[in-house]
Amino acid sequence: MKKAVIRSVILVIAAMFVLAVGTLFCLSIAGHDNASAPEGWNITLMMPENAAIVTAVIMIVLAASSALLAAVLLISVIKIELTARAEKKENRKTRFTRLASIDRQETEKGKENGRSSKTRPGAPETPFNITMEEFTEGFRNFAAGQLGLFYDRSVIRTYVAAMAASRLTILQGISGTGKTSLPYAFGKYVNNPAVVMPVQPSWKDRSDLLGYYNEFTDSYTETEMLTQLYRANYDGKIYVIVLDEMNIARVEYYFAEFLSLLELPDRTSRRIRVTSDSRPSDPELFEGGTLLLPDNVWFAGTANNDDSTLAISDKVYDRAFVIDLNSRANPFPAASSGPSSITAAELQVLFEKAVADYPLSEQLRDRLFAADKYLSERVGISFGNRTMRQLEKFVPVYIAAGGDEDQAADTVICHKILRKMEGLNPVICRREVEGIRIELRTLFGPGKLPECEAYLDRIISGER
C-alpha cells in the first residue's frame, strides 16, 4: 500500500509538471505577436505555429490523464485501506460468543491464581484417602439419599468399572429403569452436573453434536456439548455427556468421528474438527479449527430397543461398554453421603491402583480364551484385542469396587461376547444355546454366570 501511495504522488507531480509546460506553451501561443517572424513560425518557442499548438494540446491531455490516473490510484488505495480495516475489525469479532466468554472467565481465574489460563490441574500431588469401594458405595448412597434413585451395587460397580474400560457406556433396557438418571446422578455426585443431549432422528454428522457456522450472521451456533468439551479442556473435573435415546438416529453416523478419536492411543492427537477455517479471533484453545477431545470427558448413551429406534451396529458395541437395566432396584435405607470432590486425575489414580492390586488372573484368562475358542468354532463369534484391553481394566476396577472376579467375568462375557449372537441366524443360535451353556458351566462352574444364563434363556424364548 505504501508503494501505491508513492506512485500516486509521483503521478501527481508528473501531471503538475506536464500541465505547467502545456500551460506555458498555450500562453506563448496566445501572446505571440512578432511581425518579423516568418509566417506560421513561433519565434518564442522556436517551432512552427501548428507544431506548438499540437504539442500544447498533447501536454494538456497528458497532464489530465496523469491527474486522472493518480486520482483513480488514490481512490483504490483508500478502498483497500477501508477494506483492511473492516477485515481487521471483523477478525476481532469472534464467531464463538460462549467459548469466548469461557476464555475471559478462565483468564481472570488465571490472574487471580497466578497461573496461565491454559494450565490444567495435573495428577494429585498428595495421596487422597478414599478407596474405589468407598467411592462407589458413596455414589450409591448419594443417589438414594439425595436424589431418590435406587440402584443395586452391581449396577453401580459396573458403571464405574465401565468408565475405566471405555469412554462410551451404553445403558439399555426398558423405559423407566433409570438409564438416563444413572449418569445424571453420577454428575451430581462428582460436583459437575452431566449434560443431557436428546438425540434427534435427523442427526447424521458431528455438526449435530458440535453446532454449525451460520454464514448469514457470521456466527457459530454453539451446542451445550461443544461448550462442555471446551470447558473440560480448562479444568480437571469429571465431565459426563449423556446422549439420550442415542439409537433414535444412526450412532455410527453422527458419532463416527468421536468413535475413531477415542481409539487413538496418543491423547494429544484426539482433536475434533469444529470449523473448516481458522481466524485470529477464534477461541484460545482452538488449533487450526480443531479442539482437543480431553481425557476427563466420558460419554453415556441411553438406548431403547423398540420400533421407534434403530439397531446399534457391532462397531459401536465393540468400542463401548454395555449395561442392561431391565428392572428397578428396591428402595433401601441410604447412609448419609454428600457429593465427592474427586477430580478426573484422582479417579484415574484409583483405576490404575485397582489394575495394579487386582490384575487379571491367569485362570480367568485361560477360561476366557477357552470360551472364545468354543464360540468361534460353534457359532463363529470371537472377541479381539480391544475387548481384551477393556476386560483388563474392567475386571480389576469391578473387584476393587467390592465385587469378585466371577461377577465381573459374567458381565463381560454376557455384554461383550454373547451379545454378538444377536447378529446371527436365530435358528443357529437356539440350536447352540445348550452347548454354550454346558461349556460355560464347565469352565466357570454351575451358577457362576447368572447374567449369561439369563441371556441364553432369552435367546431360547425368542426375546433376542
The CATH number for 324's domain is: 3.40.50.300
81 and 187 co-located in one domain: no
224 and 367 co-located in one domain: no
41 in a structural domain: yes
227 in a structural domain: yes
158 and 245 co-located in one domain: yes
Residue type, 351: F
Task: Assign residue 173 a region (left: φ > 0; alpha: ψ between -120 and 50; beta: otherwise).
Answer: left
226 in a structural domain: yes
- Reading the block at residue 267, the C-alpha cell is 491423547
From 316, 343, 370, the end of a domain falls on 343
Contacts of 319 (CB under 8 A, 6+ apart): 166, 168, 259, 262, 263, 386
Please identify every stretch of the chain with a pLDDT value under 50, giving residue numbers as ranges: 35-36, 90-91, 125-126
348 in a structural domain: no
314 and 378 co-located in one domain: no
From 92, 112, 135, the end of a domain falls on 92
From 92, 111, 135, the end of a domain falls on 92
145 and 175 co-located in one domain: yes
- Predicted pLDDT at 22: 58
- Reading the block at residue 311, the C-alpha cell is 439397531
- Predicted pLDDT at 277: 87
336 and 259 co-located in one domain: yes
CB 459 within 8 A of CB 421: yes
Instruction: Give the residue numbers spanning the domain of 36.
Output: 2-92
351 in a structural domain: no
353 in a structural domain: no
For residue 456, give Cα distances in angstroms to 32, 145, 418, 425, 452.
122, 36, 8, 14, 6
329 and 422 co-located in one domain: no
CB 120 within 8 A of CB 373: no
Neighbours of 230 (CB within 10 A): 23
- Predicted pLDDT at 460: 85
Question: What total of structural domains would you count in the chain?
Answer: 3
Tens-place pLDDT, residues 181-198: 999 999 999 999 999 999
CB 253 within 8 A of CB 195: no
- Predicted pLDDT at 430: 87
393 and 287 co-located in one domain: no
- Predicted pLDDT at 438: 94
pTM: 0.78
349 in a structural domain: no
Tell me how far apart the alpha carbons of residues 184 and 159 are, in angstroms, rounded to a whole number: 12
86 and 111 co-located in one domain: no
169 and 281 co-located in one domain: yes
79 and 137 co-located in one domain: no
86 and 102 co-located in one domain: no
CB 226 within 8 A of CB 273: no
Residue 214, φ and ψ in degrees, nearest 5 = -100, 105
350 in a structural domain: no
Tell me how far apart the alpha carbons of residues 433 and 418 are, in angstroms, rounded to a whole number: 10
